Amino acid sequence: MAIGFPKSGTTSLTRSLETSGLKAAHWQDDKYRFVGQLIYHAVVNGLDPFAHLQGYDAITQADVCLPRRGMNYWPNLDFAVLRAIRRAHPTCLFVLNYRRPEAICESLMNWRGMQTRLERSEIPGLPAGAGATREQLVTWIENHFDACRAYFATDDRFIEIDIESPDVPQQLGRALGIQIKGWADHKPDAIVPGA
């Protein structure tokens, strides 16, 4: 499960995992249901966090932030949910998909009203009303990265990948025990102008 931010290689990760033979849920499932909403529904009802995502091998983007539709789910940033996932799935690989915080911020600010949606929403680490400035967004991103590194410091089923590094396929392959194919075929979000 990817536990970084949107605009941080999640599409590239999805395509590469699928090229490598895994089935990934990215933002929505095959029935166009939001992954984050499905995870929260399961957790608050005492179910396996992935109860509504049977048949998937990976969750590459779980967050959804559409306040006008009443959708605001961030299981990838919520340590209570991450803990529930770890309890239910001791071997689940948590992947911190790292990208420079300034680059994530820039992409979030340029993506379809995302900054406004973030500012309106109550998000782990970013209360409603915050997120209007680059500085606030960068601090939020940095704080999450630091929290992940501390929380998972002794967890051998946690890796951090820098999506701009050429070593991503090797790192993921070692952690998953498979050969990762297609990473070079899918230009990571990190280097797509205006991503």
Summary count for the chain: helices (H), strands (E): 7, 6
pLDDT digits 0-9 by tens, 6-34: 999 999 999 999 999 999 999 999 999 99
pLDDT score, position 128: 97
CA trace torsion 93, 90, 36, 195 (10° rounding)? -10
Average pLDDT along the chain, 195 residues, taken 10 residues at a time? 97 96 98 98 98 98 97 98 98 98 97 95 98 97 98 98 96 97 68 36
Q: Quick one: DSSP state of residue 23?
A: -
* Number of Cβ within a 10 Å radius of residue 184: 12
pLDDT score, position 194: 34
- Tell me which amino acid residue 146 is: D
* Number of Cβ within a 10 Å radius of residue 14: 22
Burial class (CB in 10 A: 0-12, 13-18, 19+), 107: buried
Domain boundaries, the chain: 10-178
The fold of the 10-178 domain, in CATH, is Rossmann fold (3.40.50)
- Phi, psi of 2, rounded to the nearest 5 degrees: -80, 130
pLDDT score, position 1: 98
pLDDT score, position 149: 98
Q: In the beta sheet, which residues pair with residue 64?
A: 73
Give CA–CA dist 47/78, Å, rounded: 17
- Asked whether 193 and 103 are in contact (CB, 8 A), the reply is no
pLDDT digits 0-9 by tens, 44-58: 999 999 999 999 999
| pTM across the whole model | 0.93
Burial class (CB in 10 A: 0-12, 13-18, 19+), 117: buried
